[in-house]
Structure 1
Amino acid sequence: GIVPLAYSPMGQGRLTGKYSAESPPQGRRRFGAHPMEHVEAVLELVRRVGETNERTPSQVALRWLVQKGAVPIPGAKNQEQASLNAGALGWELSATDMAALDAVALEGRRTIHGRIFQHG
């Protein structure tokens, strides 16, 4: 079968928990046409699910993709980020968490007019 590759699985840093609507990235990474407000509901949910599962928002986002059958291609600037990304492996999201993430992802897609993180 065909396996989808998930390019930019953390939405250019949006789903790492590093940025918020009140504290967006500066310069080149300021997200252009897709400001943080467009993904606040997704970010809030991955944070909550992460807290419940003792995982980071990034690990939740990556785990969701893996459980959907995709192969995420996350970036990592250093060994610490690579190790955090690897923390998406070896555990499972509950069916309830998967359903909630599916719903908020669909709503996020509607919010940004079907352009999922297309280089702002």
Structure 2
Amino acid sequence: MSQEQSDHSSATTGELISKLTTEMKTLVRDEMRLAQAEVTGRAKKAGIGAGFIGVGGLLALYGVGVLLAAIILALALVMDAWLAALIVAVVLLVIAGIAALLGKSRVQEAGPPVPTGTMDSVKADVDAVRHARDH
């Protein structure tokens, strides 16, 4: 029999429970540190990815601006430049208005951002506990 096995066989139940509790606390702390390190690493990667997405979005916005300028310049070949710019602006504003109206209707369809299903479930749980307590 090894020394550790001998120590366990001679230890009282209280000592074993105390040792188990201490080891569980250590294990939980170590697991929490590991989880924190894992989440931190993932968050860092996600942050870098979000930065690249932001740069891509900004460059796409500039690209759209240049494309709109090219459309205006192309139209300016067959009409006055101010008229070409006005036509492009009106088309953009009409598209923006349609998008805003579609967005507004979707938001109204969604209703208030209240978790009604979860609230109903919690109320049912509270009622069940009250009912069990009363009996």
- Category of TM-score, reference length = shorter chain: under 0.3
TM score, norm. by length of structure 2: 0.24
Q: Which has the larger radius of gyration?
A: 2
TM score, norm. by length of structure 1: 0.26
Kindly indicate which of the two structures has a greater share of residues assigned to strand. 1
Kindly indicate which of the two structures has a greater share of residues assigned to helix. 2
